[in-house]
Structure 1
Amino acid sequence: MDLSTRRQPPTVRLRRLASELRSLRQTAGLTREDAAGQTNINSATLYRIETAKARPQRRTLLTLLDKYGVTDPARRAALVELSKQATQLGWLQAYESELPEEYTTYISFESEARSVRNYESLFVPGLLQTEGYTRAVVTASLPYARNEEVQQRVETRAQRQASITKDDPLKLWAIVDEAVLHREVGGAEVMAEQLRHLLDMARQPHITFQVLPYKVGAHPGMHGAFAVMDFPDTADPELVYIENMAGALYLEKEADVRRHTEMFDQLRAAALNVADSRKLVAGLIDID
């Protein structure tokens, strides 16, 4: 019993299925090695299933449910249905094979989130970027990328932004270091357009925008950007996303999520309030 070798970006549903299967195995009193040995499922395969790196084939899932003593028909049907839904990527499907795995993973989670709390020290948050700003960032950060690659990144960013303009929009709380507003990305015209866009978006009721001013000095966010996501279903725990030059890191442990939530709250308290943040942005482009 094995899995397709095709890369499967984690989704919220796949993450939930992985958590359910881990919990069922532990309740059955089995180690991962026990379960693998007693079901003839490859140990590496079982590890990938339990860490949301792969979706189990139907026969593999049913074998695990049998082994874990899940006999209730409704419970079995619900887990089979969850597995079916676990690979649904929506619009991202068209870009999945062309984008880095860590990026498609983040987009997949973000698209299903209820809210995102995002601190950025270097860039305007992706959900609030204009096309010109995005293009300038991608071109500068990927200097050897082909024009087609740059265009894919720009299009993907625009698709992501549908989450904050739909009927039931994602709630976004964005905090940026003041340096983000002064770094002239793409030239004066592109940056002015970006700042005007920030002001427009900051007026939306589901978007909270704050600036962490220079005068704050040292602060908890100096180690870098991060995002905390939560989801509509309480069965899906909050998730922390951190990105750096070494790659992307997802933190799920309660202590890690709590630490970053507290860090965000400290940044929120230190930042300018919403009105003063807008006033600072407006002052940079001479808007009253």
Structure 2
Amino acid sequence: MVPRTRPTVRRKRLGAVLRRLRLAAGVSMEEAAQRIDGDKPKLSRIENGRMNVRRLEVEALLDLYGVTDRATVGALVELARQGRRKGWWHQCGQDLDEGFQERLDLEDDAVRIHVYQPFLVPGLLQTPEYARRVIREAERDAGDAEISKWVEMRMARQGIFGRSPAPGFVCVLDEAVIRRRVGGPDVLASQLEALRERARPPEVTIQVIPFGEGWHAGLDGAFAIHGYPDPLELDIVSIDYLDGTLYLEEDASVERYRRAFDQLRASALSSRQSMELITRYARELREEVVEAR
């Protein structure tokens, strides 16, 4: 029996592109499998991201599909090579569940990340103090040492902003996020000040949808869109729920979320206006802290 292998994001992206190219070329699974001395189950595992594919196999499939553009061939061969690479988090010594590893894979390779969050500041923008309060509430059975490790991991994730080039990051927040007093006024004030410092359009853009906007396209909940530079670009939508994360890759589904995100940005204050709102509320919180002392 062939062991079940978790489909990493890189392998899923490569498999999805290879499947699209096969279908566009009108090649059957049997014919493609024969080209790489395999069978239909092997090709299916490749296209589903459950099996590594060698460079020679990628080149053989692309030749069969009539793909001759050197840039496309080179990019897909490189993606196959990266499918065997382990991310930085494998050295952290923590037992990470598969869903969280998939999230780290998404962030590590993305060239653009669009996030909508109606509840909390996204992990990629959280301060250590804010993150600690969020994690402590979510993991009530965890001890201080374990919580500290998770906070360190969350801060390490923010290293993607130090990449060259860094991913373009656009974050739309509901006003409830900047009003919700996670950790109390002091912790929230520091978090809002950190948002103000982090916002540097176009690299990092933060916008807020004010309460006065009423209905908007994000009332169904949080989501993120991760974009990649591959040939036949494959964007992936992630939606968190109580027991895990749902990933959407089908074109029609992804396009709906792209449109929803565009509508959310249109409903939000501009980046400048959002920073003014965040700064004003942070100042109010600081005054409250001083008065309480």
**TM bucket, shorter chain:** 0.7 to 0.9
CA separation of 1:285 and 1:51: change in aligned 2, threshold 3 A: same
SS of 1:29's partner is coil
Within the candidate set 16, 19, 24, 1:22 is matched to 19
Identity of aligned residues (%): 34
- Do residues 10 (structure 1) and 14 (structure 2) align? no
Normalization by structure 1: what TM-score? 0.82
The whole-number CA distance in structure 1 between the counterparts of 2:43 and 2:256 is 30
Q: Tell me which of 219, 228, 232 is aligned to 1:231.
A: 228
Q: Deviations over 1:28-85 (max 9, x none)?
A: 632479959x966473x544432223424x49x749947x947999899986654332
Structure 2 residue matching 1:256: 3-state secondary structure: helix
CA shift in 2, pair 1:234/1:148, >3 Å: farther
Q: Match of 2:240?
A: 243
How far has the Cα of 1:193 moved from its partner?
1.0
8 Å Cα contact 1:9-1:101 kept in structure 2: no
Aligned-CA RMSD value: 3.5
1:87-126 mapped onto 2 (5 Å cutoff): 87-95=84-92, 98-126=95-123
**Which residue, 182, 197, 200 being the options, matches 1:200?**
197
Answer with 195-204 or 231-240: which moved more: 231-240
Report whether the alignment pairs 1:258 with 2:255.
yes
- Runs of 4+ residues deviating >6 angstroms: 70-78
Change (3 A) 1:69 1:162: same
Summarize the Cα distance change of 1:32–1:144 in structure 2 as closer, same or farther, 3 Å threshold.
Answer: farther
The corresponding residue for 2:175 is 178
Q: How many residues align?
A: 281
Deviation at 1:273, TM superposition (A): 1.5
Partner of 2:127: 130
Deviation at 1:147, TM superposition (A): 3.9
SS in structure 2 opposite 1:220? coil
CA distance in 1, matches of 2:65, 2:266: 47
Q: Deviations over 1:198-224 (max 9, x none)?
A: 111124541111111111112110110
1:218-238 superposed Cα distances (whole Å, 9 cap, x missing partner): 211011011112223343322
The answer as to whether partners of 1:65 and 1:76 remain within 8 angstroms in 2 is: no
**Does the residue aligned with 2:85 lie in a helix, a strand or coil?**
coil
Q: For structure 2, which runs of at least 5 residues remain unmatched after alignment?
A: 287-293
Deviation at 1:145?
Answer: 2.9
CA-CA distance at 1:112 after TM superposition: 1.3
Judge conservation of contact 2:168–2:203 (CA < 8 Å) in 1. yes
